[in-house]
């Protein structure tokens, strides 16, 4: 899925305007608009922060499988000790 579309859908699901999301993450409404319209691509860190502000989170999938989260990896290494 394209980042701009994913951001827009997450923002709408959260019931936030572009201005409200911008205020939450400390950026401008124009930046949110540019991300959503594909005029600018956010870095992975910025994209993750934007999604978090909407109550969503960024996950990575490979070949249809989700990669383990950091906490899952830490938990599995704790069990191996």
How far is 76 from 37, CA to CA, in rounded Å?
40
Residues making up the chain, counted from first to last? 81
Residue 16's domain comprises: 3-80
Q: What is the 3-state secondary structure (H, E, C) of the chain?
A: CCHHHHHHHHHHHCCCCHHHHHHHHCCCHHHHHHHHCCCCCCCHHHHHHHHHHCCCCCCCEECCEECCCHHHHHHHHHHHC
Number of domains in the chain: 1
CATH for 68: 1.10.260.40
Q: Quick: pLDDT tens for 34-81.
A: 999 999 999 999 999 999 999 999 887 777 666 666 676 676 555 554
pTM of the model as a whole:
0.73
């Amino acid at each position: 899925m394209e980042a701009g579309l994913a951001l827009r859908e997450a923002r709408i699901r959260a019931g936030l305007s572009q201005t409200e999301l911008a205020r939450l993450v400390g950026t401008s409404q124009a930046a949110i608009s540019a991300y959503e319209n594909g005029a600018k691509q956010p870095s992975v860190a910025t994209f993750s922060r934007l999604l978090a502000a909407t109550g969503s989170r960024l996950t990575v999938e490979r070949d249809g499988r989700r990669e383990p989260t950091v906490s899952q990896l830490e938990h599995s290494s704790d069990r191996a000790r």
